[in-house]
Amino acid sequence: MLKVSGLNVSYGDVQVLFDVSLEIRVGEFISIVGANAAGKSTLLRAISGLLKKTSGSIEFQGKQLVGRPPYAVVEAGIVHIPEGRHVFPLLSVRENLEVGAYTRRKSRKDLRRSLEELYGLFPQLYHHRDQLAGSLSGGEQQMLAIARGLMSRPTLLTVDEPSLGLAPMLVEKTFQILEHINKENVTVLLSEQNVFNALSMSDRAYVIENGRIVLTGAGKELLTDEHLKKAYLGM
Amino acid sequence: MDPTLFTQLLISGILLGGIYALASIGLTLIFGVMKIVNFAHGEFFMVAMYLTYWVVHYFHIDPYLATLILVPVVFLIGIVTYYLFIRPTLSSSVLAQIFITVGLSTIIQNVVLLFWSADFRSISLGYATDSLVLGPFPALHIEEAMVSPARLIAFGLAILLSLAFYLFLKLSYTGKIIRATSQDRSAALLMGINTDRIYRLTFAIGIVLVGLAGGLVLPVYSVHPFVGFDFVLIMFVVVVLGGMGSVVGAMVSGLIIGVVEVFSSYWIGQENKQVIYFLVFIAILVVRPSGLFGLKEEEELEHIETID
């Protein structure tokens, strides 16, 4: 489904990703784990077309995405839930969701159906539908960011650090939601510092260090890897 | 103060303020969405006045009709200006953005001067030259107040257009997309929004709004190549006072500045009236530094430009 090969990314003169390659198959739940500043977010942002200085290849369902603008990436079916949620604070919850359906805006009926489905999945968003998104709690904003992303019915959802700044109970809930979405045939690419949780959920995972992929394998296998245990799990 | 005089000044002030509101909405919109201060905003006001003037002059049609007919033309001027001058500087420094719009303002003024000379040109409304008389209202101790029909029509249309634009922004899908883009550009990109197209549309709408204001005042003010400058100073006061980026703020503070201007020109004279509205402006900003309807700093948004 998604094939990244030989990806290099720089911010100005500073190279952040080096020769990164990975492959995701339809329906998989893939994690990218690593320390802060390892390059996880950069990788997701490069896939989304947000970064200019990108070379290599990002192929999605046979289409080359490098050099394509972000809207073309969304139109192809990849939606990125950014780190820090980035809901539109002065739009209501409902308006946020409507904006999320931008690529499908032509069909009113479609939009209403998506809204109903997502309100079913996130009842608290329905409850707060007329409230300004900026007035929601952090956990609710994270739910809104995910729901907003799903409004365009992506085939691949990339999620950047959804657990950041959330209480443990909400982290748990966020991961449950992502697992649920994955079971509904949305492929998920998750970037997380919360290594234990991410690996236990994932079909496969990639470990990224200083902008390079250093380790890859099935999620549960990686949990027993000696290097990983020492570096990220404190064992 | 004599209630008749007070009423007279208040009416004149509100009528003037409606025009200021409409003219300023475009400026605050462009800033709110694109974070660009359009120093050439007054020149688009002036160009629209000229276009209306020439249409009326050659085709002998009603100036308000001419103003509406010219909307697509002014929209197109906005689009072309966006591509030629605004888009190339979007990612440049603030300084470059200031230079480009200030430069544009000078260029437009001088090109107009070259073609159409420095003459003051004006039209008059054939059908409405006599003042309307309001009153008397003996219960309020108000004798007759005079209202110029041209000012009244300009005000009515300006308020109508401002409200229509406000509803468009609030209720239409495109309006929601424009607001989303102004609140968080990177999130808008991630929703699949082509923000370049939204910027282009926003800039053109902003120019149309100021152009409409220019056309509406043609029966009241003479047009000359530097008329934009007289208005743009007030537009900036209105925009900053209302809160930069706030459409409602621009509408409310447009009316406030209109009233303040009329009262102060009565009390201390036409040539010193700016002193008073700048004092009011400073006084309000001391209490509310981000303007009447502006966001407080902690409510403002940070963007995801941090390095991973």
The fraction of chain B above a pLDDT of 90, given in percent, is 68
Average pLDDT across chain B, whole number: 89
Q: Tokens 């260029």 map to which residue?
A: B107
Q: Which alpha helices (H) appear in A133-188, and where do they start and end?
A: 138-150, 168-183
Q: What are phi and psi of B142, to 5 degrees?
A: -110, 125
Give contacts of B177 with chain A, Cβ < 8 Å.
99, 102
Give pLDDT, residue A178: 95
Residue with tokens 């080096």: A18
Q: What is the pLDDT of residues B6-46, one digit of tens each?
A: 888 999 999 999 999 999 999 999 999 998 999 999 999 99
- Alpha-helical (H) ranges within B117-226 are 149-171, 173-183, 185-190, 195-217
B242, two tokens: 């209302």
**pLDDT band at residue B303 under the 50/70/90 scheme:** very low
Cα A47 from Cα A200, distance rounded (Å): 24
Query: Residue A17's pLDDT is what?
Result: 95
Q: How confident is the model at residue B223 (pLDDT cuts 50, 70, 90)?
A: very high
- CB pair distance less than 8 Å for A99 and B186: no
3-state secondary structure of B54: helix
Average pLDDT of the residues of chain A: 92
Tell me what the mean pLDDT of segment B166-175 comes to. Answer: 95
Quote the crossing angle between the two packed helices B41-59 and B195-217, to the nearest 10°: 50
Are B242 and B251 spatial neighbours (Cβ–Cβ below 8 Å)? yes
Of residues A217 and B129, the one with the higher pLDDT is A217
- What's the gap in Å between the CA of A28 and the closest CA on chain B? 22
- Highest average pLDDT, of A104-118, A147-161, B282-296, comes from A147-161
CB B47 within 8 A of CB B207: no
pLDDT exceeds cutoff 80 at B130 = no
Helix B273-287 and helix B227-242, axial crossing angle in degrees, nearest 10: 20
List, as one string, the DSSP characters of A171-185.
HHHHHHHHHHHHHTT
Structure tokens at B258: 């209109």
Q: Which residues of B touch A (CB under 8 A)?
A: 173, 176-177, 179-180, 183-184, 186-194, 299, 301, 304, 307-308
Q: Which of B184, B186, B191 sits opposite A74 (nearest CB)?
A: B191
Q: How far apart are CA B242 and CA B254, in angstroms?
A: 8
**Residue type at position B92:** S
CA–CA separation, B183 and B303 (whole Å): 10
Cα of B154 to nearest chain A Cα, Å: 32
A97/A136 Cα distance (integer angstroms): 14
Output the pLDDT for position A3.
Answer: 95
- Name the one residue in this structure whose structure tokens are 């005000």: B155
| Bridge partners, A30 (sequence order) | A189, A204
Q: Which residues contact B20 (CB under 8 A, 6 or more apart)?
A: B231, B234, B235, B238, B254, B255, B257, B258
Q: Which residue of A has its CA nearest to B170?
A: A91
Q: Provide the shortest C-alpha distance from residue B168 to chain A (in Å).
A: 14
**CA of A79 vs chain B CAs: smallest distance (Å):** 7
Query: Who wins on pLDDT, B127 or B74?
Result: B74
Helix (H) or strand (E) holding A60: strand A54-60
Q: Are the C-beta atoms of residues B177 and A102 closer than 8 Å to each other?
A: yes
Would strands A204-209 and A29-33 be described as parallel, antiparallel, or unpaired? parallel
Lookup result for tokens 């190279």: A15
Q: Do B10 and B147 meet the contact criterion of CB atoms below 8 Å apart? A: no
A39–B308 C-beta distance less than 8 A: yes
Q: Computed from CA positions of residues A121, A124, A126, A132, in that sequence, does the dihedral angle turn out positive or negative? A: negative
Position A53 confidence tier, pLDDT thresholds 50, 70, 90:
confident
In B, minimum Cα distance to A71 occurs at: B192
For residue A63, the Cα-to-chain-centroid distance in whole angstroms is: 20
Q: Residue A197, SS3?
A: helix
**Omega of the bond leading into B138 within 30 degrees of 0 (cis):** no
The DSSP bridge partners found for residue A63 are: A60
Interface of A with B (CB under 8 A): 11, 14, 16, 37-42, 45, 48, 50, 69-71, 74-75, 79-80, 82-84, 86-91, 95-96, 98-100, 102-103, 105, 134, 148-149, 152
Closest of B219, B305, B270, B293 to residue B32, by C-alpha: B293
What is the C-alpha separation between A218 and A29, in angstroms, rounded? 10
Q: What secondary structure letter does DSSP report for B131?
A: P
Amino acid present at A168? P
Q: Do A98 and B176 touch (CB under 8 A)?
A: yes
Average pLDDT over residues A27-43: 92
Is pLDDT of A125 > 50?
yes
